[in-house]
Chain A
Amino acid sequence: MSDISGELIDRVKFAQQHAQPLKIIGANTKAFLGRDVSGQPVNVAAHSGILEYQPVELVLTARAGTSLLEIQQTLAEQQQMLSFEPPLFSASSSGSSGGATLGGTLAANLSGPCRPWSGSIRDMVLGVQLINGRGELLNFGGKVMKNVAGYDLARTQAGALGGLGLMTEISLKVLPMPQLRLSLSLAIDEAAGIVLMNQLSATAKPIDAACWLDQRLHVRLSGSSASVEQSARAWQLDYGFAVDTAGQQFWRDLTEYQLPQMDSRQPLWRFSINPTSAPLEVRGDCVIDWAGAQRWVSGEQEIEQLQQQAEKAGGSVALWRGGDRSAEVNQPLPQAMQQLQQRLKHSLDPDNILNPGRLYSWL
């Protein structure tokens, strides 16, 4: 629990003066994400601590290096939570103790199975304090529920993998915990499973997770006990779902990317597409999460063939983990979009010192 923002500003200013790229590191639990970049490591994990939290406001502000574990424990004491079910990487082999940091989680925009219903960390961000590539400490957004003053450079940090600023403080909207969570599952083939998970999502039942794999559809209901129990009964009758007592562990493994289908020795590919897209033609079996909008497949694949399918399905594919990380790992963007992204990066980081090349070789 300490404030090292002064030191961090000095590091960035020094780097800018010496045109020396920086590699921003939280707990280093997601070093595998994005492209390999070289740069002087800057450690943000020591810049930690919860700064403000009043349960009645549903807002929490913490330094970027604060571990998610600490945040979740603090929220849980008040029956509140981070609503986007982030992966914690707390048992990771990276040697760091606390697991994922808040800053790293926002930079990577990682959210768990409930994402289609409860939103992502990007959706919950209210404000960010950051150091831009000029070494200026800036505040965007705020600590209140709504704020449309100025461009939303807070939310824009989500998924930027540190390329738009070294984040120092983050304010998030938090939510009450549901009274009850219940998992159900059903044997069903892939094509029918995709249709069913979308149909269930279009009902007003409190569904908050839907994942198909190994010829089984897993769903979770979360909310007030009355509505969860009533909905579970209805779905057991209507579709033949059975209560899945191992559900909690399943969702945790899925959230932490630790299902056997996500073998960490193999390249892992991630599709982000229209949830209703038909089964993808890939080598091996898919894990279909987010009610169809996020799909995983591991092993050696033809990248161009995957990209074509992703495009047809209204989205994109990334080489998420493993494989060649010096090449591009994200779907190519049109020329005009590339240029605009470069100009935006340049507006915040004119000397290209903040995690250059992490998202794309040209960014």
Chain B
Amino acid sequence: MGRNPLAIPVKISQSELAALFGEFIDPQYVIADRETQKPYECDGLSMYCEMPLLVVLPETLLQLQRVLRICHSYSIPVVARGAGTGLCAGAMPNAEGVVLSLAKFDRILEIDPLARTAKVQPGVTNLAISEAAAKFSLYYGPDPSSQIACTIGGNVAENSGGVHCLKYGLTVHNILRVTMLTVEGELLTLGSQGLDSPGLDLMALFTGSEGLLGIVTEVLVKLLPVPEKAQLIVAGFDSVSAAANAVGEVILQGIIPAGFEMMDTHAIVAAEAFVKVGYPVDAKALLLCELDGTADEVEQSVQKVASVFKRLGATSIRISENEQERAQLWRGRKSAFPAVGRISPDYYCMDGTIPRGQLANVLTKMQQRADQLQLRVANVFHAGDGNLHPLILFDDSVPGEFAKAEQLGAWILEYCVAVGGSITGEHGVGVEKIRQMPIQFSDLEIQQFHRVKSAFDPLGTLNPGKGIPLLKNCQEYRALRQIQPPKQQTVAGEKP
């Protein structure tokens, strides 16, 4: 293959490209027909769709490398894809580009129980790692609710979190080494088998970079010992603010729960109707607080948390008495998204993060704004780390409803920024939140992101149009904002 150093886009047709890939990839894994391509048109955020030029599913590193080299030489966009469970249209195809599926890279290469690590290919699912490690009484910490389906490559690309990230950290805290291919097809190793590496920490930068800086080809993850004991306390409250106070008070007692989740009344009712686990359907807010550790420790902490909940007005408290009950009580929380799917034709999941002290305020204001727009919102989220997941309920078959849902979604993200938070805690920016990026960042910061991108991908062919907005669009996006910033600019250095 001739390289094209000047990057003058030499045109190549779809069939020529498919033939070129077909020379070294099983032709059934080079997908050009629309029908077979259809499942790849979107990720978990199905409101955003696009059909690609081609979908390829290479099976070896060498094939992967050659795909990248060819795409690079023709300046063809490449969109990496894991399981397609992403919620920000990060894996949405590019119309002129190739979808590079890592689905065939689904092997766990090695588990080292003494070093507490697993070496895995990028297409391995999150849950498969913990399942394979279970025989050593080890597991992989981050547990996104999508863990049966989502891949570790996607997790690295999004820096995914989950219920247990409050205590055990996000993806970035639980990986040691990432092997990646650059856009030119150059193989690089970030991190090491030790806890740090010489030079700049490119692994920190790469984690959460949404497929814009390179393709993950292998991950060495850390494994944690399975705790001796875990117990779940489920408590109902008669107001969201009472529940929010209780979250803060537990933390002030010096307790870091393994998971600390909140559900509001819509979510409680929907989940209970769906899985019937015995949640108090008359409660306005429900807290699920999991404590883990050694047996004595868990016993002590459970007593402490229960008494905090009582003192702060819990209307019901239930403590899991065995593993079966714990799993059952979690089931309501874990199936909350599909449960909400049953009470509304469609829903739109948001992902802002706020300082915990703002929980009651933000949830109240959100409700008011939803009422104005005549929309319903169900909340089920990671209360312990202030990561909201408002589910906006709407009916896509009614013209204008999705636009309204998007408007409310944008307002929520803007409000998160206004109270000192972020537009995304774990789902990423993708296409979806690109308009809110200039609300959180100044032009200079966005420009700096583009410079970082260029250091890795000078032609900008890796997942173009995602993550970082074009500078020329930022003013327009800011002009569309629903919440005006305070008069005095807080971000110094930003030109008025």
Contact = CB atoms under 8 A, between A and B. Distances in A.
Interface of A: 5, 9, 54-59, 79, 109, 115-116, 119-120, 122-123, 132, 136-140, 142-153, 155-156, 158-160, 163-164, 175-177, 179, 195, 198-199, 201-206, 223-224, 226-227, 230-231, 271-276, 290, 293-294, 313-316, 318, 330-331, 333-334, 336-337, 340-341, 343-348, 359-360, 363
A357 B316 CA distance: 62
B357 interface: yes
A5 B300 contact: no
Contacts of A115: 195
B294 A272 contact: no
Given A151-B205, A160-B200, A227-B293, A176 B256 contact: yes
B385 A337 contact: no
A1 to B, nearest CB: 18
Contacts of A274: 115, 193-194
Contacts of A205: 294
A77 B441 CA distance: 34
Contacts of A151: 205, 208-209, 213, 449, 452-453
B43 interface: no
B196 to A, nearest CB: 5
Contact of A145 (B228, B385, B453, B493): B385
A331 B192 CA distance: 12
B68 to A, nearest CB: 14
B188 interface: yes
Given A142-B422, A294-B194, A54 B357 contact: yes
Contacts of B356: 56-57
Contacts, number: 279
A159 B196 contact: yes
A347 B355 contact: no
B297 A119 contact: no
A152 B228 contact: no
B182 interface: yes
Interface stretch (B165-173, B337-345, B365-373): B165-173
Contact of B202 (A144, A230, A340): A340
A54 B252 CA distance: 10
Contacts of A336: 182, 186, 188
Given A150-B445, A156-B205, A160-B201, A314 B173 contact: no
Contacts of B165: 146
Contacts of B228: 204
Given A123-B169, A333-B198, A273 B204 contact: no
A79 B425 CA distance: 27
A30 to B, nearest CB: 15
B192 A315 contact: yes
30 contacts: A56-B248, A56-B252, A58-B251, A109-B201, A120-B195, A123-B173, A132-B448, A139-B445, A144-B354, A144-B385, A144-B425, A145-B386, A146-B165, A146-B425, A148-B424, A148-B425, A149-B423, A149-B424, A149-B433, A151-B213, A151-B453, A179-B254, A204-B137, A204-B226, A204-B293, A273-B194, A314-B194, A315-B197, A330-B198, A336-B188
Contacts of B227: 204
B355 A227 contact: no
A56 B197 CA distance: 34
Given A146-B422, A204-B226, A363 B199 contact: yes
Given A137-B493, A149-B429, A346-B455, A198 B115 contact: yes
B161 interface: yes
Given A272-B196, A293-B195, A336-B188, A138 B448 contact: yes
A138 B493 contact: yes
Given A132-B448, A145-B385, A145-B387, A152 B254 contact: no
Given A123-B169, A138-B493, A272-B195, A227 B201 contact: no
Q: Which 10 A-B pairs have the closest CB atoms?
A: A314-B193, A315-B194, A137-B493, A226-B296, A146-B425, A227-B297, A176-B254, A145-B385, A272-B194, A274-B193
A152 B205 contact: yes
Interface string B196-232: 1111111011011100010000000000011110000
A223 to B, nearest CB: 7
A152 B437 contact: no
B134 interface: no
Nearest to B436: A149
A158 B173 CA distance: 14
B256 A226 contact: no
A331 B198 contact: yes
Contacts of B189: 337
Given A123-B169, A146-B387, A224-B300, A293 B194 contact: yes
Nearest to A109: B196
A293 B209 CA distance: 27
A309 B248 CA distance: 48
B353 interface: yes
B353 A224 contact: no
Given A136-B493, A337-B189, 11 more contacts: A139-B441, A144-B354, A148-B159, A155-B172, A159-B200, A204-B294, A272-B196, A340-B182, A340-B188, A344-B202, A347-B454
Contacts of A226: 294, 296-297, 299-300
B6 interface: no
B383 to A, nearest CB: 11
Interface string B445-484: 1001101111110000000000110000000000000000
Nearest to A54: B357
Contact of B445 (A140, A164, A271, A294): A140
B154 interface: no
Contact of B420 (A143, A315, A346): A143
A66 B186 CA distance: 42
Contacts of A346: 455
A152 B204 contact: yes
A174 B207 CA distance: 22
Contact of A146 (B113, B161, B448): B161
A201 B115 CA distance: 9
A275 B493 CA distance: 44
Contacts of B198: 316, 318, 330-331, 333, 359
A83 to B, nearest CB: 10
Contact of B201 (A155, A206, A334): A155
A125 B291 CA distance: 25
Interface in B254-288: 254-256
